[in-house]
């Protein structure tokens, strides 16, 4: 019981999601307690090391060059600035430092600089993660040699809805990058975004796709869409809060050994809703005032939340 399985179907996941909320959270708590400290919440912090100008047309993203969002593109940050940000993150309680670049793919010309960032952050005793777009043959191995712990590459949604979100890369492209990460011995961080206008079936399909990966992703971030003016998905209807809790619980049950992370969208969530997400099995949050280009609750609100639920 509470062990990973790889044969989930859409019907299985929808049935799980539809269970009475008390039963669903009870089972999610069982899965959490079987493999994790139920009162431990990992604090991760994310830094945008290269902003804007991305060639992809992901319909939720302010950093795409395809949309007019008012975001100014920047060059890759200097090493000292990244390490300073990582040091401040650690001093603020972060245990994991994630670095994101708005690229379609990682170019060899940037590999040395990125590897130096990874090595520098790793030397501070922080868990390292990067999200750099698609990878080419041999690149994951170079990142691993630099000390990379996790590579983030979200599937975003289920394969049927995916063409409504992005057309500049395929679903298989994303799966291929995850396979390269695995072959290099780097842990996988992969999840999706809820609230982009997708159906419940699409959310179930996302979890099915992730659950088919063997082993399961060690990290599963669940994002609530932050609607950004100027993006095609910016006006999407907001997902019901309790429905979001249900999907968190479903993810915990499906991925019992993984870290389930509440990612984007917490800024507009009440403390009570976030507490329910933690009760439903989430055991990591992203801290800091910014999450790439969108607002995050900030240290004071995060500490108040964690104090309120008694999380270490």
**How buried is residue 163: exposed, middle or buried, by Cβ count under 10 Å (0-12/13-18/19+)?**
exposed
Task: Tell me if 99 sits within 8 A of 149, measured CB to CB.
Answer: no
Separation CA 92–CA 71 (nearest Å): 27
Cβ contacts of residue 297 below 8 Å, gap of 6+? 266, 267, 305
Does 215 sit behind a cis peptide bond, omega within 30 degrees of 0 on the bond before it?
yes
Phi, psi for residue 121 in degrees, rounded to 5: -70, -40
DSSP state letter for 168: S
Q: Where are the alpha helices (DSSP H) in the chain?
A: 10-17, 21-35, 79-91, 111-123, 139-145, 171-183, 200-211, 241-254, 271-279, 299-309
Classified as helix, coil or strand, 5 is coil
Classified as helix, coil or strand, 14 is helix
Angle at 274 between CA 273 and CA 276, to 5 degrees: 65
Catalytic residues: 54, 58, 61, 98, 129, 189, 261
| CA distances in angstroms from 118 to 72, 110, 145, 284, listed in the order given | 25, 13, 10, 21
* Matching residue, tokens 């050994």: 257
């Amino acid at each position: 019981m509470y062990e990973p399985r790889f044969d989930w179907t859409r019907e299985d996941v929808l049935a799980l999601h539809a269970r009475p909320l008390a039963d669903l959270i009870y089972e999610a708590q069982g899965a959490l307690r079987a493999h994790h400290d139920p009162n431990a919440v990992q604090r991760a912090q994310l830094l945008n090391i290269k902003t804007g100008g991305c060639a992809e047309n992901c319909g939720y993203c302010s950093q795409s060059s395809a949309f007019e969002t008012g975001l100014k593109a920047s060059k890759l940050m200097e090493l000292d600035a990244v390490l300073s940000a990582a040091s401040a993150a650690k001093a603020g309680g972060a245990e994991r430092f994630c670095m994101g670049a708005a690229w379609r793919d990682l170019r060899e010309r940037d590999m040395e600089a990125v590897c130096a960032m990874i090595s520098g952050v790793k030397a501070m005793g922080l868990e390292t993660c990067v999200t750099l777009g698609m990878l080419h043959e041999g690149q994951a191995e170079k990142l691993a040699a630099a000390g990379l712990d996790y590579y983030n590459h979200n599937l975003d949604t289920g394969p049927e809805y995916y063409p409504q979100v992005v057309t500049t890369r395929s679903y298989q492209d994303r799966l291929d990058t995850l396979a390269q990460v695995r072959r290099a011995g780097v842990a996988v961080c992969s999840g999706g975004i809820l609230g982009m206008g997708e159906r419940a079936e699409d959310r179930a399909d996302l979890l099915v796709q992730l659950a088919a990966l063997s082993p399961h992703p060690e990290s599963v971030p669940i994002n609530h869409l932050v609607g950004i003016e100027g993006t095609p998905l910016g006006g999407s209807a907001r997902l019901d809060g309790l429905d979001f809790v249900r999907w968190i619980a479903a993810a915990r049950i499906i991925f019992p050994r993984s870290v389930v992370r509440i990612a984007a969208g917490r800024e507009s969530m009440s403390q009570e809703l976030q507490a329910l997400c933690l009760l439903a099995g989430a055991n990591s949050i992203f801290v800091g005032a910014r999450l790439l280009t969108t607002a995050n609750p900030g240290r004071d609100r995060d500490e108040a939340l964690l104090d309120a639920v008694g999380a270490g």
